[in-house]
């Protein structure tokens, strides 16, 4: 079997990890999926699809900042051990002065990345998702993909803002209200458009972006475990990302929950494009060109 290429390796000359701003961390974690399976294959699918991307993203060359792909995190242990491995991998990236980019894999993995970043100081999470992921436990598991943002809020005391949600249970609705979690649900975006300033004025200046691909409408990405109709369109998502990151510092991001299908390489390519588009938004934000 051919080795899995690094992200956009088709366009990147040999680069030393220490010279790269983006460190892509493949995390093939699949411990608690509750409907469609296949997220374990998500990172490889994104890496393979990235070979077909254009280096020019339409506005800039994100690869000029350097993109290094690390070895995949070993996910062949129980959830607690795997989260520790993810935190360790992200910690090495942060120590190198690079920005961690997690490729999933199920959404539970985000907690490991957040634990590493929390050691650097305060920040807020901007979550793109069809689901709130605020359950205290799901199917007896407090570290299920359906609980990841509850753990981030309660364990790490991180501010959270949710975008694109359209499927949540009543207990999640109540917790979201009680905890004062901000949100811009998909129906509001559909009815009112993308606001000029999506995030509250007092939201932290440093942000982490967690993008579950089911936040997008299934017409954009269908290959995910629980596709929910009525999601965000591609350009709505890009506009939201641009406006959320404007005048803020993005300290890391992940793209999770891709469940590849042999008959749907469009979803793989779109997920890879999403990763590169977020890199471009970060690059242009740092250079002050948007």
The pLDDT confidence band at residue 107, using thresholds 50, 70 and 90, is: very high
- Residue 132 burial class via C-beta count within 10 angstroms: exposed 0-12, middle 13-18, buried 19 and up: buried
Neighbours of 193 (CB within 10 A): 10
What CATH number belongs to 9-287? 3.40.800.10
pLDDT attached to residue 1: 45
Render pLDDT for 194-243 as a digit per residue (tens, 0 to 9): 999 999 999 999 999 999 999 999 999 999 999 999 999 999 999 999 99
Buried b / exposed e over 199-235, threshold 16 CB at 10 Å, is: beeebbebbbbbbbbbbbbbebbbbbbbbbeebbebe
Sole residue written with tokens 């490991």: 112
Contact between 198 and 163 under an 8 Å Cβ cutoff? The reply is yes
- Cα 14 to Cα 29: distance, rounded to the nearest angstrom: 28
Mean pLDDT of 15-37: 88
Sole residue written with tokens 């890009």: 238
Among the ranges given (97-106, 245-254, 279-288), the one the predictor scored with the smallest mean pLDDT: 279-288
pLDDT attached to residue 133: 98
Domain spans, the chain: 9-287
Sole residue written with tokens 């979550």: 127
Render pLDDT for 146-161 as a digit per residue (tens, 0 to 9): 999 999 999 999 999 9
Render pLDDT for 170-196 as a digit per residue (tens, 0 to 9): 999 999 999 999 999 999 999 999 999
| Threshold 0.95, pTM exceeds | yes
CA proximity to 86, closest of 62, 112, 60:
112
């Amino acid at each position: 079997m051919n080795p899995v290429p690094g992200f956009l390796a088709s366009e990147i000359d040999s680069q030393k990890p220490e010279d790269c701003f983006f460190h892509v961390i493949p995390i093939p974690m699949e411990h608690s999926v509750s409907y469609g399976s296949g997220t374990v294959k998500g990172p490889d699918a994104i890496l393979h699809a990235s070979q077909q991307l254009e280096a020019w993203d339409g506005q800039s060359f994100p690869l000029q900042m350097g993109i290094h792909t690390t070895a995949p995190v070993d996910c062949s242990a129980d959830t607690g051990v795997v989260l520790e491995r993810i935190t360790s991998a992200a910690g090495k990236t942060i120590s190198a002065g690079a920005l961690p980019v997690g490729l999933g894999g199920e959404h539970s993995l985000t907690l490991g990345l957040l634990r590493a970043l929390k050691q650097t100081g305060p920040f807020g999470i901007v979550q793109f998702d069809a689901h709130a992921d605020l359950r205290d436990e799901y199917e007896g598991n407090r570290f299920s993909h359906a609980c990841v943002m509850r753990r981030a809020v309660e364990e790490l005391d991180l501010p959270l803002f949710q975008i694109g949600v359209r499927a949540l249970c009543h207990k999640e609705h109540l917790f979201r209200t009680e905890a004062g979690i901000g949100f811009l649900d998909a129906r509001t975006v559909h009815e009112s458009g993308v606001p000029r300033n999506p995030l509250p004025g007092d939201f932290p200046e440093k942000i982490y972006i967690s993008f579950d691909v089911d936040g997008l409408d299934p017409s954009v990405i269908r290959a995910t475990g629980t596709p929910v109709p009525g999601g965000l369109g591609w350009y709505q998502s890009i506009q939201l990302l641009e406006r959320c990151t404007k005048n803020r510092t993005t300290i890391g991001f992940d793209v999770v929950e891709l469940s590849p299908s042999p008959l749907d390489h469009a979803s793989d390519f779109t997920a890879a494009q999403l990763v590169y588009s977020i890199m471009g938004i970060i690059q242009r934000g740092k250079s002050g060109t948007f």
